[in-house]
């Protein structure tokens, strides 16, 4: 399990241009307490990528997709997203900034835009189990 401090450090130091969390410490505490996570670490214990999400029955809501800047473009986030898609039977939802290049990754994984709010897109994907039913 990744820790509150790892989440805070990753977002404070490498959150990128599209991070819109007013209080990162409160966010990290909330997601640790109420959320779930999938992550990838290397053999030395370096956190390479993670996804933080909530199971808001009947929707699984992805709150954060993060990849270490030195490891972006290597498919780490894609693999974690695919893992979530394959393991749930729920609709998966997330929000992404209109200019965030990550939206192309989501589209490749069959997320589709279901709404907009200012500069944010709401995207949704049916789980692999739902698609194969």
- The DSSP-derived string for the chain is ---HHHHHHHHHHH--TT---S-HHHHHHHHHHH-EEEEEE-TT--EEEEEEEEEETTEEEEEEEEE-GGGTTSSHHHHHHHHHHHH--SEEEEEEETT-THHHHHHHTT-EEEEEETTEEEEEE--HHHHT-
Quote the number of domains for the chain: 1
Work out the pLDDT band at 13, boundaries 50, 70, 90. confident
> What is the pLDDT at residue 20?
80
Rounded to 5 degrees, φ, ψ at 97 are -65, 140
Q: What percent of the chain has pLDDT over 90?
A: 86
When pLDDT is averaged across residues 112-127 and rounded to a whole number, the result is: 94
pTM: 0.92
Statement: residue 132 has pLDDT above 60: no
> At 87, which CATH number?
3.40.630.30
Q: Is beta strand 59-67 parallel, antiparallel or unpaired with respect to 91-97?
A: parallel
pLDDT in tens, 23-80: 999 999 999 999 999 999 999 999 999 999 999 999 999 999 999 999 999 999 999 9
CA dist 64 and 62 (Å) reads 6
Phi, psi of 56, deg, nearest 5: -100, 70
pLDDT at 17: 76
Burial of residue 117 (number of CB atoms within 10 Å: 0-12, 13-18, 19+): exposed
> Per-residue confidence at 128, pLDDT binned at 50, 70, 90?
low
Structure tokens at 30: 């909330």
- CA-to-CA distance for 39 and 47, rounded, in angstroms? 8
pLDDT at 55: 96
Range of the domain at 108: 4-131
């Amino acid at each position: 399990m990744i820790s509150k401090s790892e989440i805070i450090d990753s977002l404070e130091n490498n959150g990128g241009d599209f991070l819109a969390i007013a209080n990162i410490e409160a966010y990290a505490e909330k997601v640790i307490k109420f959320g779930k996570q999938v992550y990838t670490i290397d053999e030395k214990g370096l956190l390479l990528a993670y996804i933080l999400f909530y199971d808001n029955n009947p929707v699984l809501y992805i709150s954060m997709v993060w990849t270490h800047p030195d490891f972006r473009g290597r498919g780490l986030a894609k693999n974690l997203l695919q893992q979530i898609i394959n393991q749930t039977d729920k609709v998966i939802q997330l929000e992404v900034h209109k200019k965030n290049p990550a939206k192309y990754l989501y589209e490749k994984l069959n997320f589709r835009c279901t709404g907009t709010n200012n500069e944010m897109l709401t995207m949704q994907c049916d789980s692999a189990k739902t698609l194969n039913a």
